[in-house]
Amino acid sequence: MPKSIVTTIACIAAFACGARDVRADTLPQVAANARVPYVAVLVWHDVLPAKDVWFDTTTATFAGQLDAIARGGFNVIPLSRLRDHLVLGTPVPAKSLVLTFDDNGSGIYRYAFPLLARHHFPATLFVHTNFVGRTTSKHHNTWDDLRAMERSGLVDVQSQTANHPPDLTKLSDADVVHELRLSAFSLERRLGRKPYALVYPYDVYDDRVERLAAQNGYALGFTEDWGAAGDSTSLLEVHRYSILTRFDQALADVAAHAR
């Protein structure tokens, strides 16, 4: 077996050293004092001048949404700050939002990133690592694109598994763990940091998948079940608002709870 393959396998296996001791019948819970303030996590997919598919967002719409966030006096916080809030109870300001993107569409770097930078808004990209730099039904950002965004200090990159399987719940434990560890290995090798957050492809997950994620070093898992992040069932099932149908609602919910 070539030395490079042996090294890769060893490094992936070594990732288990950071695994968490999570009981089979429990999941890590949101800190008791993280129920307030109301924090909304928003999720976009690709951002393009004109939509390729129905779940894209046009550049004009995205620019208007960022303007609305700025105009409304919302505090856009990085994902790492939300993690500390949910896990440790570290305070965050009222009217906090977290901006996230799924699927690593190339329009995020080309069109969304300059608009985020204009507003100095931090954001997180959830990336399926085996498709970085590849074209499937979509063009995907390259590792160089991801590095450039991370170097700005505004963007961080987290996991959406390695291969974006259509249903993690149908995979064996070993195959789920492979998806989680391979993605983490790739992100650490290419970008220099282990991920701590995960998005479940196609929003398909169950308690078993969540426990495996927690046991393999993921502090947070994100869904598209809307609501306050602090009201999430567990740290591996954190609410997000899809901007396709609930952008205005997310801002209204956050603002209403800040009064």
Q: What is the CA radius of gyration of the chain?
A: 18
Neighbours of 84 (CB within 10 A): 18
| Model pLDDT, residue 199 | 98
Domain span at 171: 38-257
- Say which range, 23-37, 130-144, 223-237, has the weakest mean pLDDT: 23-37
Q: Per residue in 182-215, pLDDT tens? A: 999 999 999 999 999 999 999 999 999 999 999 9
Q: Residues 115-124: pLDDT tens digits?
A: 999 999 999 9
The two tokens of residue 179 are 């998806």
What is the predicted pLDDT for the residue at 259? 80
**Phi/psi at 133 (5° precision):** 75, 5
d(CA 97, CA 118): 17
Asked if residue 24 is part of any domain, the answer here is no
Q: Would you say residue 23 lies in a domain?
A: no
* Span 83-97, pLDDT tens digits: 999 999 999 999 999
pTM given for the model: 0.90
Report the number of distinct structural domains present in the chain: 1
Helices (H), 89-198: 106-107, 113-119, 143-151, 173-191
pLDDT score at 69: 98
Residue 1 has pLDDT above 70, yes or no: no
Segment 62-83, tens digit of pLDDT: 999 999 999 999 999 999 999 9
Asked whether 43 and 240 are in contact (CB, 8 A), the reply is yes
Strands 123-127 and 155-159: parallel
Residue 143 · residue 133 · CB < 8 Å: yes
The domain that contains 229 carries what CATH number?
3.20.20.370
Query: Is the residue at 129 inside a domain?
Result: yes
Least reliable range by pLDDT among 9-18, 69-78, 95-104, 151-160: 9-18
What is the DSSP pairing of strand 220-222 with strand 57-58?
Answer: unpaired
Tell me the pairing of strands 197-199 and 220-222. Answer: parallel
Query: Residue 25 above 90 pLDDT?
Result: no
The dihedral sign for the CA sequence 193, 214, 246, 106? positive
CA distances from 38 to 32, 87, 90, 93, 250 (A): 13, 15, 14, 10, 10
Whether 104 is in a domain gets the answer yes
22 in a structural domain: no
Q: Is 114 inside any structural domain?
A: yes
Q: What is the pLDDT of residues 40-55, one digit of tens each?
A: 999 999 999 999 999 9
Query: How far is Cα 218 from Cα 18, in angstroms, rounded to an integer?
Result: 9
Q: Please tell me the number of Cα atoms within 13 Å of 197 on its side-chain side.
A: 25
| Average pLDDT over all residues of the chain | 92
Q: Using 50, 70 and 90 to split pLDDT, how confident is the model at 11?
A: very low
Judge whether 28 lies within some domain: no
Distance of CA 100 to CAs 13, 16, 189, 193, Å? 29, 27, 22, 18
For residue 129, the model assigns a pLDDT of 98
Is residue 158 within 8 Å of residue 125, measured between CB atoms? yes
Residues 6+ away with beta carbon under 8 Å from 169: 204, 205, 206, 208, 209
| pLDDT > 70? residue 158 | yes
Determine the pLDDT at residue 21.
53
Both structure tokens of 230: 């602090």
